[in-house]
Structure 1
Amino acid sequence: MAAVKPGFRGSMTWLHDWSGLIVGWLLFVIALAGALSVFRSEIGNWMRPEARCCAVGSVEAGSAAVDWLSRHAARSPAWYIQPADARSATSYAVWTASDGSYAQKWLDPRTGSPATVRDTLGGDFFYRLHFELEMPFPWGRMLAGAAAIAMLLAVITGIVAHRRFFVDFFTFRAGKGQRSWLDAHNLLAVTALPFHLMIAFTGALTLANLIMPWGALSIYHGDMEAIRKDLYPAAVDRPAKGVPAPLAPIGPMLRAAERHFGGGIAQIAVLNPGDAAAVVSVTSAEDSRIGIQRQNISFDGVTGRPIAVHDEKRPALRTFNFLYALHTARFGELATRWLYFLCGLMLTALIGAGLILWTEKRRARRRGFGFALVERLNIGFVAGTPLAFAAFMVANRLLPFGLPERAAAEVRAMFWLWGAVLLYALFRPARRAWREVLAAAAAMCAAIPLADLLAGTGRLDGLHIATAIVALGLAAGFARAAAHKTVTA
């Protein structure tokens, strides 16, 4: 490890370099998955082409889902439903099966019956990967939170270490090797600096209780149930009585909730369905306000009478909700989501340029095992991550429709290919590996709309034209980078 440079700015530069390198590969994956998560619902619709969006409100979609569950999951102790909305073509239902496992179905919002759609995680895969990293709870979230703290440290130390902050905003010298990578890194950092600071701080904040749980545990003396009750005062959780009783019509309860919310419904939870102690809890959807004003109403499932209402007005939680909404951009319309997506891609490119710059600065004087390992990991992550993500979407079109555990097969195809790329980068000369993996990523991106058409699910409409333009643009960019000597000079 290089010695710390003298002076405050020198020490900040050293800290920036090494904090960015240690978590850089993980942050690259998190940033790219987060950028794609902005269009989580739209990616889900694309990956379930059999479903078509229809003008059905959340009350109608929720009522239809409850009717179907009443007939096909009547013995389950709880149902959880996310009704379809303007962005999601299907409703999503989860319930406890007879063997104790969780069952899930995508439901037609008009009839409530299971929609005939392919089994896929869709955009939820990128959303979960962004903060859970395909790891069991809570380890993935804790690792993502630690990476967010490291990213915040790297951004702040980068600002301190930056000598020509505003001059570099207008500076980019192409074809100059290390100088070009530094210019690209600086330009990407300065252009979207407010976004980078905001996303790092809010990302660390949303997972802070997992990383530093001692405050809440100390105040509540380890009573997790008391913590949950304080966070969700309207969540009524009463034990089943064992006395059969029909569930009251769900429609009037959902309409009453909508009138109280002044907007849509995000989630419906039915506890103890078919029992005298049944409870229907309804949670409001996000609206156009930045601060998510979460509201909850619980109804007695047998009488339909409201038994608990909560509109969040506590300053601390409203502040947290505001910062959480800034991170997720769920409040935004289409233009805002595109802005977040583009800034997310800039953050991903910033991290990638920083990782490559680390090796370019040391290429002439240091070629030991550590340097070789970093360079190979750069190939596997900077070039391999877009390749793997594109392969996930191509697999959605090429795998057989009725394949058992099809959703898991899509994920396995992505990770197997990703692992193969990492092994390939370890044993292939770096210059050739960069070009070959980037060329493969370019081809895989271009294959997304092509596989769509070959599978017979593509339609010549605005969405598919936009998909083709973006994919081909990425392919052209990767191909140009693959041919450029500064990647491996």
Structure 2
Amino acid sequence: MKNGFRQSMAWLHTWSGLLVGWLLLLIFMAGTASYYRDEITRWMRPELPRSTVGSDEAAARALHFLQEKAPLAESWSVTLPDARNPALRVFWRNPESMATPPAPGEKRRRRGGGRFGNATLDPASGGEVTARQTRGGDFFYRLHFDLHYIPVLWARYLVGFCAMFMLVAIISGVITHKKIFTDFFTFRPRKGLRSWLDFHNVSAVMALPYHAMITYTGVVTLMFMYLPWGVDAAYPKDENAFFSEAFARMAEVEGPATGHAAALPIQQLLDSARREWNGTGAAGFTLYRPGAANAVIDLHQRDGRRLSVDTASLRYDAVSGKRIDASPAAGGATRTRGVMYGLHLARFADWGLRALFFVSGLIGCLMVASGVVLWAVKERPKHAKSGRTGFGLRLVDALNIGAVAGLPIAFAAYFWGNRLLPLELAERSAAEADVFFYAWGAALLAAFVWPKRMMWAWQLYLGAALFALVPVLNAITTRTHLGVTLPQGDWVLAGFDLCMLAFGAVLAYCGWRMQRWQPPLSAAEKKRRQQAAAAGAPA
């Protein structure tokens, strides 16, 4: 213990936050952006049409397309459009005999090479839409727990490690601040270290329930990877059986196709499912053995206003319309896990609640950023006494600049890459991700070369310019700019451009403040100046 329990918690809070702070900031920023992953994806695929066609019409057009495109497929899957994602996506799985074998000496790059297919359709016409290849908002979603480039298993263990450190920092921070309610209302600007500490306290306390919830539920989402021993003990030879039972899944469809028969119109099956679900529609469906007399169809319920991420499914005979099966009722543990997972993803949220989650995530980013900067601000007077900056402080200064000011540059560069990379570029979505990390790497390198205050200002100004010019770049390269989206009332695309302008303005203000910021004088420096002034004063 270091001089008592609370002091020990303060030490633990400082180091548990600092050691993983920079990676935690990346996770927080990417996770916060993921609340609008569908909207980001739509902006990054401007070729997709905006359609108000109903789900039943879209489903019928999707089946018509699949009948012509993949008549011999073993199964068809359709993801129906909704208010946030207007795209109509179709997938199919061909028989094993139709798989394209790799050329001699060539590795198969995609599982089943030629056996699986997909397409994006216009819900209004049913025609295939050629849209640019991009991962869109899914890049940020995967980045916040897969980290990119490194093996997925190691990445998820590393993210879980950071999440546990975050939980320790939250708990120890609450213990450390005995006047936590007062800290929420206390901010003293232009007071040096005191101001940074006040800002960190306010950003931490303002969204404290959110910070605790999002960190704990993030660990829960990957709990079977972190704690696999119970599943291994109970299901030593069949792990899939555990997941089928625990998550209330229907049995797999097995057996070959027999005979030929026309399926019922999809509208009748969708109407039947809506009655079963008390008016809630379907998010999509999978048709097994299409065109056969024993064809069956699984309808998947759309996410509603429930907290749980788990949704129900119904299975029908696609020819007679008779209900065959339904996903069984989940147990208490499964429902609890579904609610926690749902809280983390916030799919249940309407536009207002989603915005609140997004703002809370931004406050979390400020909390982490101010925490790592606060350590450097506290350490600098100690190094000033010796007249030299130590390696540890220089390292932290460089990482602070590269993460806090450099990550916004990387995020903006990702959107620039989407508009500037050639549309016909092979592996285009991977190239967009490369642009993100090239930009971040350049920012980190510059910070290590010259970790000074002006580097903060330059990187903040660069991030501001990149964000503010995204709408201009969008207007030059596409027809979905503010001059079109605002008059049409397309608030998804217009809102994205307006948010880019807002982020640019905030970063520009931060750069301006950093450029003009002067660190407060230490007590020793004030005393020296007072003595010098007194010595030079006339008698």
Tell me the TM-score normalized by structure 2.
0.83
Q: Give the equivalent residue in structure 1 for 2:341.
A: 324
Residue 324 of structure 1 deviates from its aligned partner by 1.9
TM superposition shift of 1:354: 0.7
Tell me the amino acid that sits aligned with residue 140 of structure 2: F
Is structure 2 residue 178 aligned with structure 1 residue 163?
Answer: yes
Q: CA deviation at 1:189?
A: 0.7
- Alpha carbons 1:206, 1:324 under 8 Å: kept: yes
- Aligned counterpart, 2:122: 108
Matched, 1:14 2:11: yes
How far has the Cα of 1:274 moved from its partner? Answer: 5.2
Equivalent position of 1:445 in the other structure? 467
CA pair 110-434 structure 1, distance change in 2 beyond 3 A = same
Closer, same or farther in 2 for the Cα pair 1:350/1:246, shift >3 Å?
farther
| C-alpha contact 1:387 1:444 (8 A) present in aligned 2 | yes
Task: Identify the residue that residue 214 of structure 1 maps to in structure 2.
Answer: 229
1:263 counterpart (254, 268, 280): 280
**How far is 1:280 from its partner?**
2.5
- More displaced, 96-105 or 328-337? 96-105
1:252 matches 2:268: yes
Change (3 A) 1:138 1:78: farther
Alignment of structure 1 residues 90-101 onto 2, 5 Å: 90-96=87-93, 98-99=99-100, 100-101=112-113
Distance 2:442 2:210 in 1: 34
Q: Which residue of 2 aligns with 1:352?
A: 369
Q: Deviations over 1:141-195 (max 9, x none)?
A: 3333332222122111111111321121111122222222211110011111111
Partner residue of 1:364 out of 376, 381, 402: 381
Q: Distance in 1 between matches of 2:159 and 2:263?
A: 43
Aligned equivalents of 2:78 and 2:156: distance in 1? Answer: 24
1:28 to 2:43 alignment = no
SS of the residue aligned with 2:284?
strand
RMSD: 2.6
Q: CA deviation at 1:230?
A: 0.5
Encode CA deviations 1:437-480: one digit per residue, 9 max, x unaligned. 11111111101111111113213206365445433332232223
Amino acid at match of 1:257: A
Tell me which of 459, 463, 467 is aligned to 2:482: 459
Q: Which one-letter code corresponds to 2:369 in the other structure?
A: G
Corresponding residue number in structure 1 for 2:2? 5
Identity level (%):
40
In 2: Cα distance, 1:437 partner to 1:443 partner: 10
CA distance in 2, matches of 1:346, 1:64: 44
Counterpart of 1:219 in structure 2: which amino acid? A
Aligned partner letter, 2:55: S
- The Cα of 1:413 is off from its aligned counterpart by 1.5
User: Take 1:372 and 1:187, find their aligned partners in 2: how far apart are those partners?
Assistant: 27
**Partner AA of 1:150 in structure 2:** F
SS at match of 1:106: strand
Correspondence for 1:432: 454
Distance 1:231 1:277, change over 3 A: farther
Q: What amino acid does structure 2 have at the position aligned with 1:252?
A: Q
Map of 2:511 onto structure 1: 482
CA–CA distance in structure 2, aligned partners of residues 202 and 22 of structure 1: 21
In the alignment of these two chains, the number of paired residues is 486
The change in CA–CA distance for 1:433 and 1:270 in structure 2 (over 3 A counts) is farther
Alpha carbons 2:250, 2:328 under 8 Å: kept = no
Farther-moved stretch of structure 1 (111-120 vs 324-333):
111-120
2:531 equivalent in structure 1: none
Whether 1:118 aligns to 2:132 is: yes
Letter in 1 for 2:268: P
8 Å CA contact 1:246–1:274 kept in 2: the answer is yes
Instruction: State how far apart, in whole Å, the 1-side matches of 2:237 and 2:171 are.
Output: 35
Separation in 2, partners of 1:376, 1:127: 27
Does the 8 Å CA contact 2:468/2:505 hold for their aligned counterparts? Answer: no
Distance 2:288 2:499 in 1: 44
Q: Which residue of 1 aligns with 2:386?
A: none
**Structure 2 counterparts to residues 130-149 of structure 1, below 5 A:** 130-134=144-148, 135-149=150-164
Q: Which amino acid aligns with 2:78?
A: I
After the TM superposition, which residues 223-234 of structure 1 pair with which residues of structure 2 at under 5 Å, given as runs?
A: 223-234=238-249
Q: Deviations over 1:393-441 (max 9, x none)?
A: 1222223333333322222211221222222222124323222211111
Which is further off, 231-240 or 87-96? 231-240
**Residues 476 and 313 from structure 1, CA distance in 2 versus in 1: closer, same or farther, beyond 3 angstroms?**
same
Q: Counterpart in 2 of 1:67?
A: 64
Residue deviations 1:336-370 (CA, integer Å, cap 9, x gap): 01111111110111111111112211123254333
Q: Give the conservation status (yes or no) of the 8 Å contact 1:312–1:318.
A: no
Task: Tell me if structure 2 keeps the 8 A contact 1:298–1:308.
Answer: yes
Equivalent residue in structure 2 for 1:197, among 212, 215, 221: 212
Contact kept? 1:279, 1:301, Cα under 8 Å: yes
Encode CA deviations 1:88-110: one digit per residue, 9 max, x unaligned: 11023344573414544322223
TM-score, normalisation: structure 1? 0.91
Distance in 1, matches of 2:293 and 2:378, equals 70
1:290 paired to 2:307: yes
Query: Alpha-carbon deviations, 1:40-67, whole Å to 9, x = none?
Result: 2222222222223322233332332233
The superposition leaves residues 294-318 of structure 1 with CA deviations (integer Å, 9 ceiling, x where unpaired) of 2111234565533211253422222
The answer to whether the 8 Å contact 1:434/1:487 transfers is no
**How many angstroms does 1:263 deviate by?**
0.8
Report how far residue 279 of structure 1 moved.
4.1
**Is residue 257–residue 289 contact of structure 2 (8 Å, CA) maintained in 1?**
no
- 8 Å contact kept, 1:236–1:298: no
Partners of 2:154 and 2:325 lie apart in 1 by 34
Which of the two has higher C-alpha Rg? 2
| Displacement after TM superposition at 1:293 (Å) | 5.6
Report the more deviating stretch, 275-284 or 355-364: 275-284
SS state of the match for residue 20, structure 2?
helix
Aligned partners of 2:196 and 2:370 also within 8 Å: yes
3-state secondary structure, aligned to 1:38:
helix
Q: Are the counterparts in 2 of residues 445 and 474 from structure 1 also a CA contact under 8 Å?
A: yes
Match of 2:469, SS state, is: helix
Q: Where do 5+ consecutive residues of structure 1 fail to align? A: none
Hey, what's the Cα distance between the residues in 1 that align with 2:392 and 2:296?
58
Counterpart CA distance in 2 for 1:74 and 1:376 is 58
